[in-house]
Chains A and B, each alone.
Chain A
């Protein structure tokens, strides 16, 4: 029998943030293992709409989102990155006011957002409805293909020699000298742990007796069959309730955070026809030619959040050597970057930008 391996860190959750942290700490000389209850990158990291839009990022997270955009561009073809630019549309006066207010603040936070005339909009996107009241544009916006997350990070972990276990569910965590993780297969021993399990953070932290106030939204995404060219940029809505882009293969991906049903505890979310319909209606309103496109699939993903909708990134309160990373609004965009920051912090380095204390008072405005 071989000697028991004790890793410097065990990372629970093989999404973007867990994998990005694993790569960073390994680069810093630590030994890491990544565990996922399913396959790598098949949670929110792999089923979100892949929108990389500064126009829908939170103002205070903009510096992180800008860094995230840079990293996605570096990953390039391997993740299906495309910088197309993006338009955000308002269809009535109320939405135009909202657009003005929100995008101005985001521009002040560093996003290169400009307001554009109808003429310019129509020249760029002739298939859009004529009913646009106001529009903003961000040349940095685009998308990546979230379906490729698992494939991409599996390759990165393999190249870096980082072991991972898929289909590995942590059932109990013992604190002794370090941590013993009991799983549905062999136990795993590590000096430190990082909880990066997205919408499953709450039950995971509960194994250590910590109550994290994590909730999950059930976001819905739909995709059509391949269509002739309908749009070249990412199309959004002033409220954020529509994100839409046509991929190189002609399929049109439609999201916007409409809510499905189900909870992370029952492992599966379900699409709710009552919310998919208005989501698709909004898409059709923006691009009328979508009416004839057949919808081939709709699905849901769990997006974790805490009451103040800012990230959890730092030490897990009350448990030395345990860390938590998750609940990042815009987590697909920001994930690769905040994973690096988390990794640096675990390595004992000062991260380039501040992390987000998981022990803060979530009811107060502390960020």
Chain B
């Protein structure tokens, strides 16, 4: 099967969904491809059918709004669809997709990548113990199935997400043993001016805090989790004061939500030739893109957290800007929305992202025995030894030790490894780019990539000279 569209949008979160609706409204044939069963992305993840009667939250309401708008638009949504390869031939983008166990090709004249973000977890001793899950990962559990990570949970991490997760766990009947955040009250005071422009979000944050204070949940500011105790499950969480490096309290708990901000998913853009630069306030390495999504690659547009962590409001607004820009480039009349509200939302989002900029104090929570690369079970000492013998880039560490060659393709270890290389070689994070991304964009079963074939039809080229 091969289908032709004007625009293919990868990702149906706030950015991609909005971009698709905007472009479809301009009269273009638009297809949106998304891995999840329903549109909404990670932030507006839809409830599964079994919990449909659960009370609404601001996320489900916003997500339902996007899903309704998409359904009412002329854009075609292909959910449960995995894009595994993208390539440009002439003026056409060719996307290899997996749907229902079959590989298909989608063709489009323009491509909008709205690939979102993934979570960064600073490795600490014991972080691979069952019962430890990502902070953002925990939100996926509540949103989709109202599942809690455990009975007594410590919530630890940076930015506003710790307070959201703590408050949601309490709302759903779980016990929050403690909130442990590397951020200090001073960090938050610095972020305040940018937050004033988003009074509704500020008010929501206030409610989370009030709830935790009323429930007398201990909040440890300027602290990190220094170790997770337990062999086959979490039994206790140890903490450390990051400034004094003094030992903090220990909490009995059966689970830990741990996360240190978001990292843009830039691999698809990189593979298609978009240059990247380092901007800590946008989540690290980000592709070069204009506010309206245009890139130096003709016909390729980027929007949302995938080109810098600016948060959900900015993502939606940038989706509109990008959908309109792509439509205009394809010759349709699509008014350019004002940039002002995007800038305002982006300022707020970046202030939140700044709270998660990795610090040496946070990196110091990893010890020599701490696993940095989960796929290949490599400890910090393993990686460190490789750097000591002259591996001065993420690619060199990957080649020498396989860090980044496992199923995750380096998505979960590269930030910590790059930070270690920088620290050991006296460089900065901006000097150590991530390792070269390789297709497929997602692991793809070989038989499904190949599809049915007749041996005699294989296009076997002339053999090499004898």
Distance, CA A149 to CA B389, complexed state (A) = 14
Q: Does A277 contact B (CB under 8 A)?
A: yes
B98 to chain A, nearest CB (A): 11
B417 to chain A, nearest CB (A): 15
Q: Does A122 contact B (CB under 8 A)?
A: no
Q: Does B458 contact A (CB under 8 A)?
A: yes
Distance, CA A3 to CA B64, complexed state (A) = 72
Q: Which secondary structure characterizes the binding site on chain A?
A: mixed
Distance, CA A158 to CA B388, complexed state (A) = 12
Give the contacts of A311-351 with B (CB-CB under 8 A): 329
Picked from A58, A223, A282, A293, the residue with its CB within 8 Å of the CB of B466 is A58
Contact mask for chain B residues 389-405; partner A; CB cutoff 8 A; 1 contact, 0 none: 11111011011101001
How many residues in B have their beta carbons less than 8 Å from beta carbons of A?
Answer: 43
Give the A-B pair count, Cβ closer than 8 A: 142
Q: Does A63 contact B (CB under 8 A)?
A: no
Distance, CA A49 to CA B215, complexed state (A) = 59
Contact mask for chain A residues 257-285; partner B; CB cutoff 8 A; 1 contact, 0 none: 10101000000101111001110111111
Distance, CA A225 to CA B455, complexed state (A) = 25
- Most chain A CB within a 10 A radius of its CB, from B271, B405, B438, B453: B438
Q: Known: A273-B85, A282-B458, A298-B440. Contact between A148 and B399, CB under 8 A?
A: yes
Query: With a CB–CB cut-off of 8 A, which chain B residues contact A272?
Result: 87
Q: Is the CB of B389 within 8 A of A294?
A: no
Distance, CA A240 to CA B402, complexed state (A) = 28
Query: With a CB–CB cut-off of 8 A, which chain A residues contact B405?
Result: 147, 223, 296-297
Of A39-47, A187-195, A197-205, the segment with at least 4 beta carbons within 8 Å of chain B is A39-47
Q: Is the CB of A241 within 8 A of B443?
A: no
Q: Does B331 contact A (CB under 8 A)?
A: no
The 8 closest A-B pairs by CB, nearest first: A291-B447, A151-B400, A294-B443, A297-B438, A147-B399, A239-B463, A281-B450, A273-B85
User: What is A's interface to B at a CB cutoff of 8 Å?
Assistant: 38-42, 46, 56, 58-59, 91-92, 98, 102, 105, 131, 147-151, 154-155, 158, 166, 223-225, 238-241, 257, 259, 261, 268, 270-273, 276-278, 280-285, 290-299, 309, 329
User: What is B's interface to A at a CB cutoff of 8 Å?
Assistant: 85, 87, 94, 96, 271, 386, 389-393, 395-396, 398-400, 402, 405-407, 409, 436, 438-440, 443-447, 449-451, 453, 455, 458-461, 463-466
In addition to A223-B405, A297-B409, 19 A-B residue pairs with Cβ atoms within 8 Å of each other are A38-B395, A39-B396, A105-B466, A147-B399, A150-B399, A151-B400, A154-B390, A158-B389, A166-B392, A280-B446, A280-B449, A280-B450, A291-B445, A291-B450, A292-B446, A292-B447, A296-B405, A296-B407, A329-B464
